Amino acid sequence: MGKVIFGGLMIVTIALFMRLMVAEDTKREKCEYAYDKTSPSIQMYYNIKKYAELYDIPEDYAFGLAYQETRYMGPLHEKYDHKQVSFAGAVGPMQVMPATAAFINHKGRVSKKKLTEDIEYNVETSMKLLRYLYDKYGDWPTVFGAYNTGRPLVNQYAMNIINKKYTWIDDQQD
């Protein structure tokens, strides 16, 4: 009799645990997509976190790169402009060259408009590029130098990302 009660309690406990796990997974899925998709600064935040994890890029380096490229300062950066274009022709939040995006995404051509307006595509392309460069060169300073110049070198740009201790904009600042 004791074994039957114990066995029944185990089944109930396991069932409750499984229900909690399913509820937690559902909540996690909802959280992943439950953000203001119209705010460029919030889109940046979630997409950097998502793709840095997916491509195994250290998150602080991913955010440091976003800061270095377009002065992104976090999810509350209301005045963030993700449609920047460099003098060299790099576009969007992570300043990706169209030819580089075509190469890294195995596409024949990627438009400047796509890279400028589609924050998620731009961020994912950037994270894919970082993974490609890391797999090729094996150390982050060289990766960031190559991201910046197209050549494997360590420059001030790379060191700024490696050593960056950036401050997020919070709700008390502009």
Structure token digits, residue 117: 């307006």
CATH number at residue 130: 1.10.530.10
CA atoms of 169 and 63, how far apart (whole Å): 13
Of 10 and 158, the structure prediction assigns the larger pLDDT to 158
107: pLDDT strictly greater than 80: yes
- pLDDT at position 108 is 87
Q: Are residues 10 and 56 in the same domain?
A: no
Instruction: State mean pLDDT over 48-60.
Output: 97
Q: Are residues 15 and 41 in the same domain?
A: no
Q: Are residues 20 and 86 in the same domain?
A: no
Q: Is residue 168 part of a domain?
A: no
Q: Are residues 73 and 23 in the same domain?
A: no
Q: Is residue 25 part of a domain?
A: yes
Specify whether the CB–CB gap between 69 and 93 falls below 8 A: yes
The whole-model pTM stands at: 0.76
Number of domains in the chain: 2
Instruction: State mean pLDDT over 58-80.
Output: 94
Quick one: angle between helices 119-137 and 59-70, nearest 10? Answer: 120
Q: Are residues 58 and 102 in the same domain?
A: yes
Q: Are residues 141 and 102 in the same domain?
A: yes
Q: Is residue 171 part of a domain?
A: no
Q: Are residues 43 and 15 in the same domain?
A: no
Q: Is residue 5 part of a domain?
A: yes
13: pLDDT strictly greater than 90: no
Q: Are residues 12 and 86 in the same domain?
A: no
Q: Are residues 115 and 138 in the same domain?
A: yes
- Owner of token pair 């209301």: 78
Q: How far is CA 165 from the centre of its chain?
A: 18
Cα atoms found within 13 Å of the Cα of residue 69, Cβ hemisphere only: 31
Q: Are residues 89 and 9 in the same domain?
A: no
Q: Hey, what amino acid is at 125?
A: T
Q: How confident is the model at residue 136 (pLDDT cuts 50, 70, 90)?
A: very high
- pLDDT at position 164 is 81
Q: How confident is the model at residue 171 (pLDDT cuts 50, 70, 90)?
A: low
Q: Are residues 50 and 75 in the same domain?
A: yes
- pLDDT at position 37 is 67
Q: Is residue 174 part of a domain?
A: no
CA atoms of 42 and 168, how far apart (whole Å): 12
Q: Are residues 2 and 50 in the same domain?
A: no
Alpha-carbon Rg for the chain, nearest whole angstrom, is 21
What is the tens place of the pLDDT at every residue in 77-86? 999 999 999 9
Cα atoms found within 13 Å of the Cα of residue 89, Cβ hemisphere only: 8
Q: What is the 3-state secondary structure (H, E, C) of 71-86?
A: CCCCCCCCCCCCCCEC
- pLDDT at position 72 is 95
Q: What is the DSSP letter of 117?
A: H
Q: Is residue 23 part of a domain?
A: yes
Structural domain of residue 90, as residue ranges?
36-163
CA dihedral defined by 27, 64, 93, 91, rounded to 10 degrees? -150
> Taking Cα atoms as reference points, which of 19, 51, 46, 41 lies closest to residue 31?
46
